[in-house]
Amino acid sequence: MRIYEILHSGGPVIWPLLLCSFVVVTIIIERLLFWTQIERKRNHKLLDRVLHLAESGDWPKIKKKTQGCADHVLRILNVGILHRDYDMAKAMEAEAQDMVKKMSRFMTVLDTMITVAPLLGIFGTVLGIISSFEMLDASGIADPKLVTGGIAQALITTAAGLAISITTVFPYNYFKSRIEDSIHVMEKYTTSLEVVYQKQQSRTDNEASS
């Protein structure tokens, strides 16, 4: 069956389903590009170097080392270092929340499509079956192929809805796991910086009092 025939046989509901598939594909491509850029900007060695420099309290060197770096974790640590004399933890938490919001962009839309697409498909099938029974009522059983053919065509929308939902589940779960992993990494490094800073402060206070 050709694409034109499928669109024609699917009835009016096939067009919202086509829109849903376009939205899903667009979001998946956008999110893949987003996560590819995130991965390219990562700098694990510099993160460990920053924590090492923080132990000695060499803040100017940290600023120099991280200047121009696009790693989102380093950016969060820099915000904490910048506000270290006020509230390092809250400053980093606020920056991390902004980053998580960017990572979660369009995830609600994908989640909605997973639910809505099959429902739209079933709705289209119900409309098709109603139409088939109307033809049966008009023509009786003189030509049952009209009814069976109509039901077969109506099932196209259910198949389309399920196809959209199934193909959306896998990238949705993948993006969700990436977000969870990123949150874990951000929590790991921000907590490490807080601990290092507290140790450095305690050491400085002990030296001052002795």
Check residues 200 and 171 and name the one with the higher pLDDT.
171
pLDDT of residue 4: 57
Residue 198 contacts by C-beta under 8 Å, 6 or more apart in sequence? none
Number of H helices, E strands in the chain: 8, 0
Residue 15 contacts by C-beta under 8 Å, 6 or more apart in sequence? 7
Spatial CA neighbour of 24 closest among 120, 154, 101, 126:
120
pLDDT of residue 124: 85
3-state DSSP call for residue 210? coil
Spatial CA neighbour of 24 closest among 160, 157, 155, 126:
160
- Whether the pLDDT of residue 95 is over 70: the answer is yes
Q: Report the mean per-residue pLDDT for the chain.
A: 85
pLDDT of residue 19: 94
pTM score of the predicted model = 0.84
- Whether the pLDDT of residue 200 is over 90: the answer is no
pLDDT of residue 153: 66
pLDDT of residue 6: 59
pLDDT of residue 147: 62
Predicted confidence band at 136 (pLDDT cuts at 50, 70, 90)? low
Q: Stretch 73-91: mean pLDDT, rounded?
A: 89
- Whether the pLDDT of residue 141 is over 70: the answer is no
